[in-house]
Chains A and B, each alone.
Chain A
């Protein structure tokens, strides 16, 4: 098992070095991760605190020396909110991606390997997941269960695995026909062993690719849900900031310094996921490279 992991890390490393897009994506992630860790040191103010200068509330300030990106209509420092906003974004992205990779890979592996009834049942389940409208589902669930960041993650994880499952399944269908799997079967290896030791390592890169895409979708969705007003009221996320700006008439006032930066951050982090994804695509569909 340790060998498998080592192999995956080695392959990922090699792959990053060979692909500029994927490398750029990885660098963006690293950048955001560092900011998330160092947030208290980078953010000049408490993002929740209404700022005062000499007893005066600093509301709707334009960007300046003291407030890098100005302040909100409640006098909160926008730059500090932006910095702290990295944390929920990464948290939502990583946890959602984790569940998507686990559930999607398992469903795909089992359906593809066993075929027959198991396959039918799991694939109908996937059809159901595909039939459920994504954002409406998250809204309904969060609206009823309560606006909590874990409810949002759970609602997303319940649906987002669907693409991964389908893709992994069809990949497993080809892998299981290969001779080393046949050989393992003949030598009497258990199903469990064949699935997890022989087949799984071959489809893991694909799982990770879908994980990186899911990360992007999850962050986008959290932002959308927060924007619609169903976000966690105790967490300052980029979606929350945009919702705050929208309902506080920042658009009418042309307060671009308020609502442009969070959008750019969301875009960057989502794009990073796609970059990693697109990079892998070239490895996965080498036909493209012949051009």
Chain B
């Protein structure tokens, strides 16, 4: 069998194994919750009928090991229980906010990677000049400033002081979008999106920029680039046509990982801008002890991260002909 197929199968197996271990750990964490063993799924405020349905669905009157298998089965079917706070299935609650998280994340990620890649090429080009030092120090600033603090500054200046952008949410008070599509076609939505997206962009920018820069420096050292330089090809052409192309791939790989981590990392940004997304939902679930919702949101974020790590590995190992698939004897 082809080595790459073998790798793909092995890596898929690893992904499933990881997912299974995390689900198992989560099952036990939520079973160790203070209170009786039902506390993870049943809230006293539920009607008796609801309680019975949940008892049945999650097998809460059966022994623990059976509950575990029922839990795994439900998980595979996307059944995550009933939210204590919203009195609705967790899956529905999550489905409502997930699009908002995706909009915020994709916008920021694309901006960060476009600016980062161009910035990285630029800094590599200016190697050794003063502007490079400024660029690096600025990047270090963006990496070390707490994202929520950057968000606070932007809010204080652009929203409260200058009143250019709204201070939070996805719509002004009293306005409800009829559908996702209507939301995406309204200017107001983008006005609300701007500050949180900018904050997340600033946070995400550092990685692609530094990565692109150091890859460029590596690639520029290689024979074919040196050769092009010696042949007198002009500098911009060398940078973009010869060097950037090959420095690009690892950065794109990092983007896949970045999607995963942005999912978890924008918890703070969603909170500060009252952005109704998955991260804010998780914070709310934990602070109101809404166990099923917290568990559901957590599993989803973890699944996205694991899947994106998988995509990144596949991308890196299978698409790049220069990388030998690591399979140590």
Q: Which residues of A contact B (CB under 8 A)?
A: 115, 124, 127-128, 130-137, 139-141, 143-144, 173, 216, 220, 223-224, 227-230, 239, 242, 245-246, 251-252, 254, 256, 259-260, 262-263, 266-267, 270-271, 273-275, 278, 287-288, 290-291
Closest Cβ of chain B to A275, distance in Å, is 8
A-B contact pairs, 19 of them (CB 8 A): A128-B21, A128-B22, A131-B19, A131-B306, A131-B309, A136-B279, A139-B282, A140-B282, A140-B298, A143-B289, A144-B286, A254-B160, A267-B146, A267-B149, A270-B143, A271-B140, A271-B141, A274-B140, A291-B128
A106 to B307, CA, bound (A): 27
Contact A291 B141 (CB under 8 A): no
Contact B264 A134 (CB under 8 A): yes
Name B's interface SS. Answer: helix
B17's partner among A124, A224, A291 (CB-CB below 8 A) is A124
A239 to B279, CA, bound (A): 18
B146 CB contacts on chain A under 8 angstroms: 220, 223-224, 227, 239, 242, 263, 266-267
Contact A130 B268 (CB under 8 A): no
Q: Which residues of B contact A (CB under 8 A)?
A: 14, 17-19, 21-22, 25, 29, 33, 127-128, 140-141, 143-149, 152-153, 155-156, 160-161, 214, 217-218, 221, 261, 263-265, 267-268, 271-272, 279, 282-283, 286-287, 289, 294, 297-298, 301-302, 305-306, 309, 328
Name A's interface SS. Answer: helix
Contact B160 A131 (CB under 8 A): no
A136 CB contacts on chain B under 8 angstroms: 264, 267, 279, 282, 297-298, 301
Nearest B residue to A229 via CB reads: B287
Contact A251 B305 (CB under 8 A): no
Closest Cβ of chain A to B244, distance in Å, is 17
Nearest A residue to B139 via CB reads: A274
Nearest B residue to A134 via CB reads: B264
Contact A228 B283 (CB under 8 A): yes
A223 CB contacts on chain B under 8 angstroms: 146, 148-149
Closest Cβ of chain B to A243, distance in Å, is 9
Contact B128 A259 (CB under 8 A): no
Nearest A residue to B295 via CB reads: A140
- Given known pairs A139-B282, A139-B286, A242-B149, the reply for A131 and B217 (CB within 8 Å) is no
Closest Cβ of chain A to B223, distance in Å, is 14
A282 to B136, CA, bound (A): 14
